Amino acid sequence: MSRSGLEFKILGPLEATVDGKPLQIRGVRQRAVLAHLLLAQGGVVSVESLISNVWDGRPPNTARTQVSICVAALRKLFRNAGATDEVIATVQPGYRLSLAGRRLDAMEFSLGAERGYGLGREGNLAEAAESLKQALALWRGPALSDVPAQFAEMAATRLSEQRLLAAEQLMTLRLKLGEHRSIISELRALLHAHPLREQLRATLMRAQYRAGQRAEALHTFREGRTLSIDELGLEPGAELQVLHDAILNDTSGEPSVGEGPGMVAETGTIPLELPLDVGDFVGRKAELQELDYLLAVDPGRRRTAVCFISGSPGSGKTALAVHWGRSKAGHFPDGQLYVDIRDAAAGSPERTALAVLQRFLRSLGMHPDLVPKGLGECSAAYRSLLADRRAFVIIDNATTFREVEPLLPGGGQCCVLVTGLEQFMHGRGTRGVRLGPIEHDDAVALLAAITGRELVETEAVDRLLELCGRLPLAIRAAGLRLDSKPHWSVEDLVARLSDPQRLLDTLSHGESSPRACFDRALRHVPLDTAAAYRALSATPAADFDVRTAAEVLCTSAADAEDTLERLVDLNLLELNPLEGRRRMRRGGGLCYRYPHLLRLHAEQLLHEESLEHTTLRLTRRAGPTRLTSGACST
């Protein structure tokens, strides 16, 4: 059996078919386990999540064994049906059902609806409507109607909301296409099932008015107003009231569909803000696998899945986040949001968070006139909009938790990646990934991809990667230099980079400039810490201990140790465990060092600062002054 012959359906009763023939999934628990794995859409589901959710939080002592039995039975079922590969794989901390080459109706629905929304935004109304029709045709009834478990009911509620949003948008598109007469009966049926949906009521009123049924349109409003007051104690929203007034006055300037002034979130508004993926991304397999754990879906999860990616400047934090996010876009059909905190900085963490939230709310479809002015109100509105959505957010180059916390969605279906020099979210329920140099083979592959040359692993290639510290940004910069200088050989570039005084200048051309990247990172480091970063490059040896640092910084050993550890937290220094152990055996302490290129950067900054102070002294004809970087006065 080819992989494409196996199909799964959850938009209705749970079904698994092979070439159109249904498989017999026996037992309530077996169906619940399969449903849970399918809801993960290719992600890992932990055994603990299965145990908790299949038994609605009241598992028996034998639950772990029963889960194993259910998985074994499902595997046997698929093998007997002709599956030649492993459909359900054991992946720590649980299981993953592979959907590669297989169909899941919920994924097809999400992709079809997303395509329809996109076509609608581009003005291709007929194609958008057709895409939404095809997506909605996949539904066979209430989702997972034969899986009696709370997690399935919660997932069914979320899927039903997505179905209703797609139906609302389809009605809106058909109205714009001039089908107002033919959609009235369908709108009435939808509104009967969902009488408090003001978007549906507004679309029906417009359709009735355009079909010459003005009295019916006014009656539809009055009916909705009575229901809203009786059920909610609220008057109808501003959009309905403005529309009612326009119809009552028989004005031709009736508000266009989806553009009422009171509209909070326009139906179908799906932000797609991720930057472009680098076309030559290689390596980071372990880190990508760690991020995949974020997709270990727990339908009962109440908190957003968050992972912090930390590492030194140029280690590829943003590239990893964007690459993973784009590769998993199908898991987040309700949109992807992105912000670079450095670009959004507004003077304080709170003002920065407010500016970002206001932009996010507009991206999510909130009318600009309705975007709140205060941080608390914006954060509440943002979490409300994303409460039942599956959205993905990248918060890039963050520096404090105060600017990140308001940007975290409150629901359990969203996912957030935060990047920054320092992992400041320990103990807050987040995962962590720390980036170091990339593996040697991956570094060779990256260099070859950028240069377009067939590289043989020679001594020159190895030396070039060593000079770049196997830092992705530096390798990219070296590759671009070779690409722009086809008459240079790898040996030519190595000869230029072998001079420490020329290395950073040779690599720092264009956008992939290590020097510019390091400078940007340092601008967001506290001044005293940045001064220590520069000053410590004056240590005579590559590795130095606390005592040496104290002498260079003209401070006590305790203060020097605090400064060193702060720089380690920021990934601007690192520990040398081998040298440290040798010194500790001799009665010494921990041993610190710069990552290769950062030492050259710090040395250059210290040299430039020294020249500035020399010039200043000569200009003022004053005596010697103490360097702010911490060099000792004499």
**Spatial CA neighbour of 404 closest among 350, 358, 359:** 350
Asked if 426 and 297 sit in the same domain, the reply is yes
Are the beta carbons of 404 and 355 closer than 8 angstroms? no
Q: Are 477 and 497 in contact (CB under 8 A)?
A: no
Instruction: Give 456-467 pLDDT, tens digit per residue.
Output: 668 888 899 999
Q: What is the mean pLDDT of residues 377-392?
A: 83
* Helix residue spans in 177-213 (DSSP H): 180-193, 198-210
In angstroms, the CA 136 to CA 194 distance is 17
Question: At residue 347, what are phi and psi to the nearest 5 degrees?
Answer: 105, -30
Q: What is the pLDDT of residue 298?
A: 53
**Phi and psi dihedrals of 356, rounded to 5?**
-70, -45
Residues 340, 465: one domain?
no
Within a domain: 233: yes
Query: Does 321 share its domain with 427?
Result: yes
CA pair distance 444, 625, nearest whole angstrom: 47
Please say which residue of 376, 401, 435 terminates a domain: 435
Question: Does residue 256 belong to any structural domain of this protein?
Answer: no
Has residue 13 got a pLDDT over 50?
yes
Three-state secondary structure readout of 64-132: HHHHHHHHHHHHHHHHHCCCCCCCEEEECCEEEECCCCCEEHHHHHHHHHHHHHHHHHCCCHHHHHHHH
pLDDT at 256: 46
Token pair listed for 273: 């803000």
In this structure, the answer to whether residues 385 and 465 fall within a common structural domain is no
- Say how many C-beta atoms besides its own lie within 10 A of residue 357's C-beta: 24
Q: How confident is the model at residue 26 (pLDDT cuts 50, 70, 90)?
A: confident
Q: Which residues contact 621 (CB under 8 A, 6 or more apart)?
A: none
State the CB neighbour count (10 A cutoff) for residue 496: 15
Q: What is the mean pLDDT of residues 557-567?
A: 92
Q: How many domains does the chain have?
A: 5
**H helix and E strand count, the chain:** 27, 15
Residue 420 three-state SS: strand
Q: Which of 402, 379, 185, 397 is nearest to 311 (CA)?
A: 397
Helix (H) or strand (E) holding 160: helix 150-176
Tell how strand 574-575 and strand 592-593 pair up: antiparallel
pLDDT tens digits for 341-369?
988 887 788 899 999 999 998 888 887 87
The answer to whether the beta carbons of residues 362 and 242 sit under 8 Å apart is no
- Give, in order, the Cα–Cα distances in Å from 463 to each of 126, 367, 475, 490, 494: 58, 56, 12, 9, 7
Name the average pLDDT for the chain.
84
Q: What is the pLDDT of residues 35-78, one digit of tens each?
A: 999 998 888 888 988 998 899 888 999 999 999 999 999 999 99
Range of the domain at 591: 526-620
Give the torsion sign (CA, 109, 162, 94, 409). Answer: positive
Choosing from 384, 403, 435, the residue where a domain stops is 435
Which residues does 347 contact at the CB level (< 8 Å), separation at least 6?
A: none
Q: Same structural domain for residues 333 and 401?
A: yes
User: Which tokens belong to 587?
Assistant: 């009665």
Residues 6+ apart with CB under 8 A from 474: 314, 468, 507, 514, 597
Q: Is the pLDDT of residue 618 over 80?
A: no
Neighbours of 550 (CB within 10 A): 18
**Cα distances (angstroms) measured from residue 543 to each of 84, 196, 566:** 55, 69, 17
CATH number at residue 564: 1.10.10.10
| Same-domain check for residues 244 and 313 | no
CB distance 282 to 295 below 8 Å: no
Q: Is residue 55 part of a domain?
A: yes
The answer to whether position 276 is within a domain reads no
Q: Identify the pLDDT of residue 531.
A: 92
What is the 3-state composition of the chain as percent helix, strand, coil, each rounded to the nearest 5? 55, 10, 35
Shared domain check, 536 and 584: yes
**Which helix (H) or strand (E) element contains residue 402?**
helix 401-404
Q: Give mean pLDDT, residues 518-544.
A: 90
Q: What is the pLDDT of residue 267?
A: 43
**Dist. CA 596–CA 424, nearest whole Å:** 24
How high is the pLDDT of residue 564? 93
Asked, for residue 213, whether it belongs to a domain, the answer is yes
In a domain, 632, yes or no: no
- Chain centroid to CA 445: how far? 26
Report d(CA 69, CA 89) in Å as an integer: 14
Assigned domain for 224 exists: yes
Please tell me whether residues 182 and 127 are part of one structural domain.
Answer: yes
* Dihedral sign (CA 604, 605, 609, 612): positive
pTM of the model: 0.58
CA atoms within a 13 Å half-sphere pointing along the CA-CB vector of 327 = 16
- Looking at the fold, whether 387 and 401 belong to one and the same domain comes out as yes
**Residues 6+ away with beta carbon under 8 Å from 437:** 315, 443, 469, 470, 471
Question: If residue 19 lies in a helix (H) or strand (E), which one and from where to where?
Answer: none
Give the best-scoring range by mean pLDDT among 71-80, 263-272, 383-392.
71-80
- Could you tell me which residue, 468 or 629, shows the higher pLDDT? 468
pLDDT digits (tens, 9 = 90+) for 108-162: 998 999 899 888 888 889 999 999 999 999 999 999 999 999 889 988 888 888 8
Q: Do 459 and 416 fall within a single domain?
A: no
Question: In this structure, are 129 and 67 located in the same domain?
Answer: no
464-513 tens-digit pLDDT: 999 998 999 999 888 888 888 888 888 888 898 888 888 888 888 766 78
Residue 505: HSE in the Cβ half-sphere, 13 Å Cα cutoff:
8
pLDDT of 411: 67
pLDDT of residue 19: 84
> Residue 189 sits in a domain of what CATH number?
1.25.40.10
Task: Tell me the Cα Rg of the chain.
Answer: 30
Evaluate whether residue 51 is within a structural domain: yes
Q: Which residue has the tokens 């029709």?
A: 133
The last residue of a domain, from among 499, 517, 535? 517
Give, for 15, the enclosing helix (H) or strand (E): strand 15-18
| Statement to judge: residues 430 and 498 lie in one domain | no
